[in-house]
Amino acid sequence: MENRDKHALPVSDALGRPLRDLRISVTDRCNFRCRYCMPEEVFGPDFRFLPKEKLLSLPELERLTRIFVSLGVEKVRITGGEPLLRKNIDEIISRLGDIEGVRDIAMTTNGSLLKQKAQALKDAGLARITVSLDSLNDERFGAMNGRGFPVKGVLEGIDAAAEAGLSVKVNMVVQKGVNDQDIVPMARYFRERGHILRFVEFMDVGNSNGWNMKHVVPSKQIVDMIHQEMPLEPAEANYFGEVATRYRYQGSKDEIGLISSVTQAFCGSCTRARLSAEGHLYTCLFASNKTDLLSVMRAGASDNELRSFIAEVWGKREDRYSETRLTQTRPVQKVEMSHIGG
């Protein structure tokens, strides 16, 4: 392990899962109102987003990331809200990517501002980007993103990212009766362009998206639909804990991924911590409990104190929500996806 802080020790949680990945939400704001994430009726004109002084500043982001790295984090993903709305996002990428021990820095974005920002992100050291796009049909996509934003705007962002030299993946959240007819056209389009498309099962994140199991298209059905038109074969995982299950188009190197958090939960290998824009640590996407690192930090905690505090929280972690979703009593209030970025 290269040059980690001398006080540091990688930590494991109560179920033996190490801390490897950190997802950082850099803003709670978004220019979309995706029905499954920030429905307009909840996140409408009166919704109060965080004021600037409540956001983690760049030095605070840097400091916390260093501490997380000293506890085992190797991969950082920048997300939101919409991360490209955060001022100086390229500087954030550059400073976090430069931290010794960060082996990989990636971003998830809705792509709407990517055309203008792709080159600056690449220049700042970003290697990989995941762009969310749920349909190639303007009417359906506009309804899903809640703002009538056209497909073309996202596709241009994807093209700009690829031209700038970023490795691009595309995420499609599939909802039965909403965009399941787009599965095969999306697969074909991104196969032709050499980008990996990943199908994400619609999840019951947050409290406001009206989730119901009936709206989930199981990954297995998605594979069957595509296989009928473009034969697929299973591909081996790239590494332990990979979130997506991979399939290759037969006779080629092109592939798709399936993120089956509902029908094939992967909690056993979940090594992800999530940091909200206001500096709260969540140990699960479906958590109702958080740890307020910002207040501890602003109250004057030293690096060692913060490190011990985070290690203690991670050490007690027992989360495995997706494995128990259909059998356990639900938490009363869960964190919203737009708070911690998926």
φ, ψ for residue 39, nearest 5 deg: -55, 140
Interface characters, 272-311, with ligand SF4 (x: CB under 6 A): x-----------xxx-------------------------
Under the criterion CB under 6 A, does residue 129 sit at the interface with ligand SAM? no
Closest contact distance (angstroms) between CB of 217 and ligand SF4 is 18
- CB of 209 or CB of 245, closer to ligand SAM: 209
Give the N- to C-terminal CA distance of the chain in Å, as an integer: 28
- CB of 127 or CB of 301, closer to ligand SAM: 127
Under the criterion CB under 6 A, does residue 32 sit at the interface with ligand SF4? yes
Which residues are within 8 A (CB) of 68 and not within 5 positions of it... i.e. 6 or more apart?
19, 22, 273, 275, 310
According to DSSP, the residues that pair with 107 across neighbouring strands are 78, 129
User: Quick check: 153 and 191 in contact, CB under 8 A?
Assistant: no
User: Quick check: 192 and 136 in contact, CB under 8 A?
Assistant: no
Q: Which does 126 bind (CB under 5 to 8 A by kind): ligand SF4, ligand SAM, none?
A: none
Task: Classify residue 18 by its DSSP letter.
Answer: B
Q: Which does 190 bind (CB under 5 to 8 A by kind): ligand SF4, ligand SAM, none?
A: none
Residue 79, both tokens:
């997300």
- CB of 130 or CB of 271, closer to ligand SAM: 130
Closest contact distance (angstroms) between CB of 28 and ligand SF4 is 9
Closest contact distance (angstroms) between CB of 66 and ligand SF4 is 23
What is the tally of helices (H) and strands (E) in the chain? 11, 12
Residues 233-252 that bind ligand SF4 (CB under 6 A): none
User: Quick check: 91 and 117 in contact, CB under 8 A?
Assistant: no
Distance of CA 222 to the CA centre of its chain: 21
Closest contact distance (angstroms) between CB of 108 and ligand SAM is 4
Under the criterion CB under 6 A, does residue 11 sit at the interface with ligand SAM? no
3-state secondary structure of 126: coil
Under the criterion CB under 6 A, does residue 110 sit at the interface with ligand SAM? yes
Owner of token pair 């049909």: 137
192: burial class by Cβ within 10 Å (0-12, 13-18, 19+)? exposed
User: Quick check: 153 and 111 in contact, CB under 8 A?
Assistant: yes
Under the criterion CB under 6 A, does residue 313 sit at the interface with ligand SF4? no
Residues 16-75 that bind ligand SAM (CB under 6 A): 30, 36-37
Q: Which does 202 bind (CB under 5 to 8 A by kind): ligand SAM, ligand SF4, none?
A: ligand SAM
Closest contact distance (angstroms) between CB of 95 and ligand SF4 is 23
Residues 35-54 that bind ligand SF4 (CB under 6 A): 37-38
> CA-CA distances (angstroms) from residue 56 to 90, 292, 312, 324?
16, 11, 22, 33
- CB of 23 or CB of 307, closer to ligand SAM: 23
Q: How many residues bind ligand SAM (CB under 6 A)?
A: 21
Q: Which of 106, 205, 217, 256 binds ligand SAM (CB under 6 A)?
A: 205
- CB of 118 or CB of 297, closer to ligand SF4: 118
Q: Sheet containing 232-235: which strands, arranged edge to edge?
A: 232-235, 245-249, 255-259, 196-201, 167-174, 128-132, 104-109, 75-79, 21-25, 272-275, 280-282, 291-292
- The footprint of ligand SAM (CB under 6 A) covers 30, 36-37, 79-80, 82, 108-110, 132, 171, 173, 200, 202-203, 205, 209, 337-338, 341-342
- The footprint of ligand SF4 (CB under 6 A) covers 30, 32-34, 37-38, 80-82, 110, 132, 261, 266-267, 270, 272, 284-286, 319-322, 337-338
